[in-house]
Structures are given as C-alpha cells and as structure tokens.
Amino acid sequence: MTRKLIALWCLFLSVMGIAQLYKPIDTADYTQRKAFLIKFTGNNEATIKKIKSQYSGKTLSELSKIYKDFGTDFEKQVKNKDFIFKSDFETSIQSLIQRLKKNNPQVPQDLKILIAKDNTPNAYCLADGTFVINMGLYGWLNNEEEIAAVISHELGHKIEDHSFKTFLKIIEQDNLDKITVQNIKSTTEKRSQSQNQKAFDIFKNTIYKKGVERRQNEMQADSLGYVIFRNSDFKKGEYVNALQKLEDFDTISPRALKIETYKKLFDLPKQAFNDKWMKKEDFSLYNYNFYKEKLNKDSLSSHPEMSRRIDQLKKTFTELKTSVTPEKPSDLFVTLKKVARMEALPNYFHSEDYGLGIYAAMQFLQDEEEEKYYKSWLGKCFSKIYEARKNYNLNRYLDRIEPKNQSESYQQFLNFMWNLSLDEIKNIADFYKTNETIAKAN
C-alpha cells in the first residue's frame, strides 16, 4: 500500500491543462482482447510443454503449477479490462522498442505491448515476450528517453531469464527448508524454545538469501539494460536520470491534505461539517514491528537502494559520472502525460481502490484542478464506499491505519473516513452525485 500512496504524488506533479470534458479511455476492445488471449494462452502452453521436456518430478510439477496459475490469473486481468489496446501509449512504446533493437540483436524480435491501467511507474516483461507498461510511468518520468531506460532494464531481466531462474531457486530452497523443518520436528514431540528459534532462523535465512539474489538480479539488469540503451541512439545520461526519478518515487511522501480542504468539500447544505470526523486514534502504544524488527531490513529489501544501484553503474560505466539535463519531451509524450494524469481516478475506480480514489480526488480539488471532473469521481467513489459500509465489507476498499507505513496526511484521511457514519457517507455521495447530474445537464 505504501507504493500505491507514493504513486499519488507522481500524479500531483504531472503537467496540467486538459479539458474538463475529458472522457476516460474507451476499453470496448473485445476483439483485440480476444485475439491477445488466444495467442497468450498458446504461448503459455508452449512454455509449460518446454518445461516438461527439460524437468521432471517435483520440480516439474511445481514449475508447471506456477505457469498455469500465472496464466489463469493474467487471463482474468485481461478479461477484467486491466489493460488497454490500440492506444497512443502503445504507439509510443513500439517506437521506443524499435530504437532499442538498433545494434542490439539480443533484444527479442516478437515483443508485444500491453498498457496497464496502473498508476505506479513500473514495467515488466512476461515469459512469452509480452511487455507490460504501467500508465503511471508517463505520469512520473520526464521524457521518452527515461521510459526507454526503464524498458531497457526490464529487457535485461528478460534476456537473463531472471524470473524463471528465481522460480527454480525458490522451489529448490523450499524443498530444502521442508526437509530441515521436518528433521527439527522429529527430534521431539514437544517443540522447545530453541527449536522455535531454529525454525525462525530457517525462515529468516531463506528471506535473506532471496533478498540477496533479487538485489543481484537488479544490478545485473541495470548493467545489461544500460548496454542496450547505450548501443541505441538515446542520450546516455538519461539512463541514470530515469533511476533517479524512480528513487524519488521510492522515497518521497505525498503532500498533506489541509484541514481546510476537508471543510470546503464536506461542509454541505444538508450536512454541516463535524469536527469530530477529524478525531485521530492513538496508536502510540501499538507495536506493529514486533517481527519485522527481528529481521535485518537491508537484507529484506527486494530492490537495492537506488542510490547504490546508481553508484554501481557509475563505477562500471565511467561515462555516467557526468550528469545531464533531461531532454525536452516530445509533444506526444506531453499529451500522454496529461492523459495518464486524467486517467488516475478512472484507474483507481477500476481497481476498486475507492478510498485512494477519494484521497486523490481531494488532492486534485485542493489544487483547484478540473473541479467538475474530480467532484464527479468523488461522488462515484463515495457511492461505492457507502455500498461497502452498508454490506459490512468496507475493509476491502478502505485501508486500516498503519502508523509505521503511512504518511500523517493519509492517516488523518483514514481517520476521517472511518469516523463517518453510514448516513453521513450517503449524504456526501448523494450531494456529489446530484452535482454531477446538474453539471451534465448544463
């Protein structure tokens, strides 16, 4: 959830200036989705068939299960319209990949592009060569060159086949751990404190080992990705610029929502603002990190600190020691950056992150942006929150407070949301839905 919260911040820094009458991207692309799924299913089955020709026993069964489960889950995502087809985003990415193929014969020739309705700046490549690009990359990075750098890094993972190798190591380590734990259990029927410690040590060492391997993979993908990037016609220093922007994403905190914003948005004609809504719960006596503190946090990190990755790149490739100013983005990139910004609320609504949708809408409205547009989404999200509260499943759509993992601003927001009664939520939803209807009529 922390990464989702930080993703909000990138949206608030994006460029402005798109019409209030903006309509979310149309996902009525049944024909394209059907064609993609047919090909994807065939490719996934071919991957499993290849695994069967190379492995046997438990390794075969575990690997086959991983790819079958992944295939099933990914098909559900496609059918759920989590991706968009035939967009200007795809055109932009295809152009970048063509440039990356220049002087890089190791880059797969049959890469397919999917744009995910996800606000986090991320990308990944599937076993069959399907490249998934999150819309959030365009909302966060400076230009096409930096997006090409992220793609190059992911190509490094793909070429080195890191995902498959990781699956193999996980299966191997899990089998070893099961044998070790079974031996501990067999020493006596009653588990002593020392045996509990031994079991915890196995768990701890396994996590540490996986963390080390993941960090090594990231470093390797950085280096190979840069070679691919350098061999193409991109400005070399932009590779580091992209990593530095992602470092900001990993470390920056969302801006605070002002108390005045709550009062402005929720002091309604038929429901006056109640200061009790802002009451905070005292979590000072809670210890959320009892087990986390027993583990070395650095060893648990799946991605090395970005500063370390950047330092390693500069050490390996001395030409990167000289910083460069980000290139001016193209007109197409600027347009896509605006679209990614306007798609933020539809994306949160689609993924059923209604609480985050309200939080984001309040941030945009605090900045006095596209008032009609964001107020309409405020009404839609509050309506869903009302339904969830009425059906006793609000936890599914609204976070609980976690002081160790959330900004003070977001904790205040969650206190506000949980303090609202069912009727109060309905009144807010009805008010903004009514205003949306009036706005459409005008």
pLDDT surpasses 80 at 81: yes
Residue 392 lies in a domain: yes
Q: What is the mean pLDDT of the chain?
A: 83
pLDDT of residue 73: 93
pLDDT of residue 296: 47
The token pair at 387 is 């339904």
Looking at the fold, whether 284 and 310 belong to one and the same domain comes out as no
Determine the average pLDDT of the residues in 401-407.
82
Residue 303 lies in a domain: yes
Structural domain tally of the chain?
Answer: 2
Looking at the fold, whether 36 and 97 belong to one and the same domain comes out as yes
Per-residue pLDDT tens digits for 345-371: 999 999 999 999 999 999 999 988 888
Looking at the fold, whether 178 and 265 belong to one and the same domain comes out as no
Residue in 139, 132, 401, 416 with CA at minimum distance from that of residue 284 = 401
Residue 65 lies in a domain: yes
Axis crossing angle, helix 354-366 with helix 408-419, rounded to the nearest 10: 110
Rounded Cα distance, 430 and 359, in Å? 18
Determine whether 238 is exposed, middle or buried from the number of CB atoms within 10 Å of its CB (0-12, 13-18, 19+). buried
Looking at the fold, whether 231 and 304 belong to one and the same domain comes out as yes
Asked whether the beta carbons of 87 and 320 are under 8 A apart, the reply is no
* Global pTM value: 0.80
Looking at the fold, whether 392 and 303 belong to one and the same domain comes out as no
Minimum mean pLDDT range among 148-157, 203-212, 361-370: 203-212
Per-residue pLDDT tens digits for 11-60: 554 434 444 457 777 777 888 899 999 999 999 999 999 999 999 988 89
Within 13 A of 245's CA, how many CA atoms are on the CB side?
29
**Selected residue with higher pLDDT from 28 and 162:** 162
Sheet of strand 112-116: strand arrangement? 83-84, 112-116, 130-134, 123-125
pLDDT > 70: what percent of the chain? 78
pLDDT of residue 326: 93
Minimum mean pLDDT range among 98-107, 163-172, 245-254, 296-305: 296-305
Looking at the fold, whether 348 and 236 belong to one and the same domain comes out as no
Residue 177 lies in a domain: yes
Residue 436 lies in a domain: yes
Residue 87 lies in a domain: yes
Determine the average pLDDT of the residues in 96-122.
91
Looking at the fold, whether 301 and 159 belong to one and the same domain comes out as yes
**Selected residue with higher pLDDT from 128 and 204:** 128
Looking at the fold, whether 69 and 110 belong to one and the same domain comes out as yes
Residue 327 lies in a domain: no
Looking at the fold, whether 311 and 377 belong to one and the same domain comes out as no
Looking at the fold, whether 304 and 428 belong to one and the same domain comes out as no
pLDDT of residue 441: 45
Range of the domain at 273: 259-289+336-441
Looking at the fold, whether 310 and 431 belong to one and the same domain comes out as no
Per-residue pLDDT tens digits for 239-274: 999 999 988 876 665 678 999 999 999 999 999 999
pLDDT surpasses 80 at 314: yes
Looking at the fold, whether 224 and 271 belong to one and the same domain comes out as no
**Which residue matches tokens 């409205």?**
365
Rounded Cα distance, 286 and 199, in Å? 26
pLDDT band at 8 (very low <50, low <70, confident <90, very high): low
pLDDT surpasses 80 at 116: yes
Residue 145 lies in a domain: yes
